[in-house]
A and B are shown apart, each in its own frame.
Chain A
Amino acid sequence: MNAAAVTADPVATPTDTVLTPRLGARLRQARMWLILLAVVLIGAVILFLRNGQATTTEGDLNPESPYPAGSQALAEVLRQQGVDVRVATSLDEATALAEEDSTVVVNDTGGVLNSDQLDRLLRLGAETVFIQPTFGTLSHLDLPVALGPVAGSSNEDALTLSADCDLPAAARADTITGRGTSYTPLEPIEGWVGCFADSEGNDAIAVIGGEHPLTLLGISDVLRNSTITREGNAALALGVLGGHSTLVWYTAGVADIAQGTPPTTTELLPGWVPPVMLLLGLTALTAAVWRGRRLGPLTIENLPVTVKAGETTEGRARLYATNLASEHAAQILRNGTVHRLSRLLGVTDTAATVIPVVAGLTGWPIAEVHALLIGNDPVTSAGLTRLGQTLNTLETDARARIHGASPPHDHPRQQEENPT
């Protein structure tokens, strides 16, 4: 074969026989899905951005939250009164925002701050207000104070307490209402002024005087949007928080917990582990593509129907068995035997003609053969089995007499008759 012939021959390429679509065709086919995917992605991004902005305004005692549990009302009124309200969500932020002449409100109802952080906090501003400090916070502050729920209050009914003390803000408020915690000094504390004592004499509001006065605000309801308008709540809240020109509203959060905790596993791992994990993931993806790409489409084959024969016989047998149709089954077995015996003996196919002949041939008592072939039907399955076996024995005997040993049943080939 010369080179020219070889090159000339395959040039006539029947390209139209190629089934694999080109990249362009494939993209065109999937255009609808691609557009759908793009729409879904863009929608998801938009939703994420909107919701991401919206979530910041929620939260209990949050001065930016307009919800019932928030405190936006109080913050707004304070701003109108000329107080500069600043919001902090970490201790560092609060430190940066606080000035010499500031009131610092600490919302640490979760008790996340440790004693070092509390010490820093106390020195931040001119005055510090703790909203419902927990036992942990109090002990970190080294205050020998016991606390409990305001006596006489229950979950349903807010209790109304009256001031009964010298504190100006409390005196202006006269009465307040809400649920919360009350505090009792276990030993005399210097500068302790308690107000709004409950029925057991524990104070719902307490101020500990000194260089940096400390207020324990046991009734947080006085700050909330939903309850600030009741009784003298607003007056107390404004009086306690509006004492200085700036107010730092510090809500202790996740950023404060991390400080001082032992390093996490992620921090202990070498720096190359996350990118290597990513690489392994991508390798797995590549391997999936490698193994997943078939060498050509599957070949479709029409398989023939093949039905298993003998299913109907099997089904009929089960039907007999479940209905315990021993009489019926016995009749069929007898008919079969009579038919084969009549064939064997050359008599007509009825029990009456077969009985005497077969009895004479095999030497079985005629009464026994009679009972076997046209006697009473067995009523139990065990009786049927016995009958079936006896019928077999009779046939075998008859066959043995006629032509020695022979198969128990005649073969269909032998049933063929000569054409007449």
Chain B
Amino acid sequence: MAVSGWFVLLVLLGVVPLVGTSVVLGDAGDGAVYGALGVWLALCLLLGILDLFLAAPARRMTVERRPIAKIRLGQSARSELVLGNPSARGLRGMVRDGWEPSARAVPSRQRIRVPPHERRVIAVTLTPFRRGERTSPHVTVRAFGPLRLWARQATHAVPGTIRVIPPFHSRRHLPSLIAQLTEMDGRTHTMLRGAGTEFDSLREYVRGDDVRSIDWRATARRGDVVVRTWRPERDRRVIILVDSGRTSAARIDNEPRIDTSFEAALLLTALAHSAGDRVDCVVHDQRTRARVRGTGGATQLSRMVDALAPVTPELIETDWAALPGLVRNVTTQRSLVVLLTTADSPGTARPLLAMLPQLTTKHTVVVAGVTDPLLLEAAAARTDRDETYRAAAAEQALADRRRVDAAIRLCGAIPLSATPQELPPALARRYLALKASGAL
């Protein structure tokens, strides 16, 4: 049950008959004024109850949701409800779809009118500002009576969900990276003729070709100078391990580390996919939060985006010792393992460093992390006492990071750190460099 503003106004209007009674009856009417008050209140209550009985039965309304397509963070979607009125009384009232605040539903409540035995569509525009699953557990219907004084109200459990996938801003880097990849085609041998690059085809010698790539046997057969061409190795495995533990919750440059990791993982997946490699992705802290198998194919990226969307950082320490097992589960073949984590002080990086040699004996490992651009700014600012001390602290943090990077290098892995905007393309370039050198 609910009461409208009109009912409040109706109660307030009782002032008129009260003063009226008093003025008409004079001094003798003191008791009568109280009587008038009682009569007025009874009248209001009677009208209210009458209104309530005449209101459409809010409990009997039917509420259905229409499916909502998943959207990228920053986009808007339309959520539609179908409200059916099976009763013989017209529904006049309000409806509220109980979306989470971060789904940013507009309008949050709306007036509706559903004639008897009809249905109406109620549309709400959602512009979520958080990725993941945004839900609405219930829909509330308030049905006013014909006098608009009292209303029946019922909340229907009609769960609705919209999946908001990571924005993948770094896909703007993809065209230039793919261009670099195609440039590598057939030219790699000029940079490095080593094991791992694959033989592609033979073609006629053109001036400028490396004489070392002349295939003498073919030249003898054809009577013309023929060179071998090479292409980047294909069908390699890339395993991306995203750390969703305690340190991934830190917000750098207004973006949590885990979101930067996702951006980097998505860009690398997209690039590796066009390079013909298979990418597996595992999000892990104490347990595995998400896992995408590298089956290749066009759906790989969308499956990955879908799997990563609902993952949020957990405030627990990551179980690094489990990682070699995870990698073995994915493949026993030599592959590129990318760890997207934070290793910025020798203390916290110790379990990671202890585990790394197990991976590096078999795989090529890149340890990628986000650096705070504010740290670099702070290290250079030395105008006053406080700033100088802050600069010293920042220098210490940078020195710690260098020590950890050195330790990672000693373990046989490749450290990589960059600002949140720079990390995804930096990781992709590193992948291309490794590919070019045939290190996969």
Contacts and interface: CB of A to CB of B under 8 A. Distances in A.
A354 to B, nearest CB: 16
Nearest to B23: A272
Contacts of A279: 11-12, 14-15, 18, 37, 40
A320 interface: yes
Given A6-B117, A19-B156, A20-B153, A13 B11 contact: no
A260 interface: no
Q: Name the residue in B27, B60, B94 with the highest tally of chain A Cβ atoms < 10 Å from its Cβ.
A: B60
B138 A296 contact: yes
A333 B5 contact: no
B418 interface: yes
A408 interface: yes
A307 B250 CA distance: 4
B315 A6 contact: no
Contacts of A330: 392
Contacts of A12: 62
A419 B414 contact: yes
A308 B250 CA distance: 5
A47 interface: no
A413 B422 contact: yes
Contacts of A308: 250-251
A96 to B, nearest CB: 27
Given A286-B11, A408-B380, A10 B437 contact: no
B199 interface: no
Contacts, number: 245
Given A6-B118, A271-B30, A309-B250, A332 B395 contact: yes
A302 B4 CA distance: 33
A275 B25 CA distance: 15
B317 to A, nearest CB: 14
Nearest to B386: A321
Q: How large is the interface on A (under 10, 10 to 19, 20 to 34, 35 or more residues)?
A: 35 or more
A23 B262 CA distance: 50
Q: How large is the interface on B (under 10, 10 to 19, 20 to 34, 35 or more residues)?
A: 35 or more
A336 interface: yes
Nearest to A306: B251
B249 A388 contact: no
Contacts of B194: none
Nearest to A381: B385
B371 interface: yes
A306 B33 contact: no
Contact of A290 (B4, B19, B60): B4
A17 B63 CA distance: 10
For A272, A289, A320, the residue with the greatest tally of chain B CB atoms inside 10 Å of its CB is A272
Interface stretch (B97-105, B272-280, B295-303): B97-105
Given A9-B84, A332-B392, A20 B155 contact: yes
A13 B62 contact: yes
A286 B437 CA distance: 78
Contacts of B15: 276, 279-280
B86 A10 contact: yes
Interface in B96-125: 96, 98-102, 109, 117-119
B225 to A, nearest CB: 33
B101 to A, nearest CB: 6
B36 interface: yes
Nearest to B32: A271
Interface in B349-407: 371-372, 374-376, 378-380, 382-399, 402
Interface stretch (B169-177, B227-235, B320-328, B426-434): B426-434
Interface string A261-297: 0000000001110011011101100110110010111
Contact of B85 (A10, A17, A20): A10
A272 B27 CA distance: 10
B29 A271 contact: yes
Interface string B307-320: 00000110100000
A7 interface: yes
A295 B153 contact: yes
A20 B154 CA distance: 5
B251 A290 contact: no
A384 B395 contact: no
B286 interface: no
Contacts of B7: 286, 290
Contacts of B37: 275, 278-279
Contacts of A313: 372, 375, 378, 390, 393-394, 396-397
11 contacts: A17-B157, A279-B14, A296-B138, A299-B98, A307-B249, A316-B393, A320-B389, A336-B399, A381-B389, A385-B388, A409-B379
Given A297-B98, A304-B256, 17 more contacts: A10-B85, A13-B60, A18-B59, A20-B59, A280-B15, A283-B12, A290-B4, A295-B140, A299-B100, A304-B313, A314-B390, A316-B396, A317-B394, A329-B388, A384-B388, A384-B392, A409-B376
The 6 closest A-B pairs by CB, nearest first: A296-B140, A10-B84, A272-B22, A329-B392, A388-B382, A317-B393
